Chain A
Amino acid sequence: MNVMGEQNQERGSSGMGGPPLTDEERTRYQRQLGPGVLTEEGQARLKRSTVFISRVGGMGGPAALALAMAGVGRIIFAHGGRLELADLNRQVLGSEQGLGKPRAAEFAACLRQKNRLVTVEAIDREPDDAEAVALAGRADLVISAAPTFAERLRLNRAAVACGVPLIDAAQWGMTGTLIAVKPRVTACLRCVYPQDPPFEEMFPVIGAISGAVGSLAALEAIKILSGVGQSTFGSLLLIDGYRGHESRMQLQRNPTCPCCSSLQRFSPMSREASRD
């Protein structure tokens, strides 16, 4: 089902109500308030929103940065391991001073330095099925920027189970893809990828495409959360930077999808879960 271009509606905890913007916030965000960008109510909805992002490396890092700077109220992210030299071609939340240190603490500190008004929660591991559901349940929107399909599909299941929009950002070399999922309305990741693609541990990547795709993921999130602009739910954007080609495809739901069809009831221990 294609609902690309639909006007955004309020949703979740980012709906009406809650504190208005302070004078400081009005000043801080003045360049993004006005015609063609956010309304004051849209900015207030961002402030009341929570986004869960797993991981905040090449794409999730720029996405988290853009969300923090835009004034999303709470960013919960998951990212394990320690910062390595080879991360620094794309992981914008890292720095040379942070080499060898746990990424979660480093990346959280970077985000907090950008905007002290944003609450940042850092989780220093890849969430398992149950934790992914718990985190998606606390969020108004999930961004999947994970390096494996197994984790992407786990986040997809969690978002579908909780009825929370999912934005999936992925990359290889100089290409990237972006999919926005409205659970049980538009195609989920399992509808789109019925077979697991082959696993690849060390994929090539240039930071410029990571930043581009991550920023576009953040823009989709900002539109959905603020209720401003037109979302791209139900479509896949392909950016092939190598050959300078972009295209968009309208995705179809799979009526027998093991994740999101009306016949399925989510369980972290279901066959669909264990297959990943």
Chain B
Amino acid sequence: MQIRLFISGRNYNLAEGVPDRLTLPDGATLDDALEALADVLPEGTRLPASCLVAVSGRHCGTVGSHEAERLRDGDDLVVLAPVAGG
């Protein structure tokens, strides 16, 4: 199955070369997707534990602490590095 991927928030520029889709085995979970995402991030970068994750508009927690979530073909995964500028 394929999911759409969107990384944004602080340092969004570092994610510019990251593909906008991930191909995962059927039955994959949010953890599987985050592992697959870590593999395609630019060398030397990683997602901070404080990043929010949402699947198809539903907030699931953070990269460091989230609910178990089974993904479906066509889901949108948003990873948002918190921004605080004022």
Contact = CB atoms under 8 A, between A and B. Distances in A.
A49 interface: no
A42 B76 CA distance: 38
Contacts of A242: 12-13
A147 B84 CA distance: 6
B10 interface: yes
B3 interface: no
Contact of B59 (A172, A192, A195, A205): A192
Contact of A177 (B13, B49, B58, B80): B80
A46 interface: no
Given A170-B85, A177-B9, 5 more contacts: A175-B83, A200-B85, A236-B52, A249-B52, A252-B60
Interface in A134-186: 145-149, 151-152, 169-173, 175-177
A251 interface: yes
Contacts, number: 116
Interface stretch (A23-31, A54-62, A93-101, A102-110): A54-62
Interface in B30-64: 48-50, 52, 54, 57-62, 64
B86 A55 contact: yes
Contacts of B71: none
18 contacts: A147-B85, A170-B83, A170-B86, A175-B12, A176-B83, A177-B9, A192-B52, A195-B50, A195-B62, A198-B50, A203-B85, A205-B85, A236-B59, A236-B80, A242-B12, A243-B12, A249-B52, A251-B59
A63 to B, nearest CB: 11
Contact of B57 (A58, A145, A240, A250): A250
A200 B8 contact: no
A52 to B, nearest CB: 14
Interface string B3-18: 0001011111100000
Contacts of B80: 177, 236, 238, 249
A252 B67 CA distance: 11
A172 B10 contact: yes
A197 B82 contact: yes
Interface in A47-85: 55, 57-60
Contacts of B12: 172-173, 175, 240, 242-243
Interface string A181-223: 0000001000011111110100101000000000000000000
A248 interface: yes
A180 to B, nearest CB: 14
Nearest to B11: A172
A60 B85 CA distance: 11
B86 A57 contact: yes
Interface in A225-251: 236, 238, 240, 242-243, 245, 247-251
A249 B8 contact: no
B50 A197 contact: yes
Nearest to B64: A195
Nearest to A147: B86
